[in-house]
Amino acid sequence: MSDWQTLLQQVEDCTLCPLYQGATHKVPGQGDPNAPLMIIGEGPGQVEDEEGLAFVGPAGQLLTRMLSAINLPRDRVYICNIVKCRPPQNRVPTEEEAAACKTHLREQFRLVRPKLILLLGSTAARQTIGPEIRITRDRGTFFCKAGVLMLPTYHPSALLRDPAKKREAWEDMKALRSKLMELGLYEDIYGPYENE
Ligand code: URA
């Protein structure tokens, strides 16, 4: 079995925390396994739980629009969540659930080896950068962790609840685009599509 098949099987068989009991489908994540950009959200919502895919509900549709606004085709990035099973009523995952599920996230990180990570919302940012992160204060700032640049921004669900935040989120997407360009990665993602 390839490393990816092993990872998917481990997520499928996972009972490391109680969330698996309520899951219709596990949601490991999807996208380009060689993407220079990884996007991490919080955990599957209702539609994701039904379909087994990350960010395919209303927040996911907004995420797709945010990425296309900076010309990033969604299938050229790798998208996943802190937890792979839907928490009841979409509550925030507990520390124990997030810690257990990091076994899988670490493996995804090892396999994708992204150069840049976009962190959607407080849970993703605090679980990867550190508990000191405050999303309203720290969004839009690049953090370097384990040799990888990480950019926290608002979760698309927060933008759906409070459209006034969209202006700042747009600034963050532009900062992401500039950083990808500065690192020579923008063409990595977009280039092959331009030539089709
Ligand atoms: N919210 C998330 O954090 N992740 C998803 O996959 C969907 C909604």
Q: Report the CATH superfamily, name and number, of domain 3-184.
A: Uracil-DNA glycosylase-like domain (3.40.470.10)
Taking only the tens place, the pLDDT of each residue in 128-143 is 999 999 999 999 999 9
Q: Is the CB of 54 under 6 A from ligand 1?
A: yes
Q: 60 alpha carbon to ligand 1 midpoint, in Å?
A: 7
Q: Is the CB of 158 under 6 A from ligand 1?
A: no
CB atoms within 10 A of CB 67: 22
**Atom nearest to 53 CA in ligand 1:** 6
Q: 42 alpha carbon to ligand 1 midpoint, in Å?
A: 6
Q: Is the pTM of this model over 0.85?
A: yes
Taking only the tens place, the pLDDT of each residue in 23-77 is 999 999 999 999 999 999 999 999 999 999 999 999 999 999 999 999 999 999 9
pLDDT at 190: 67
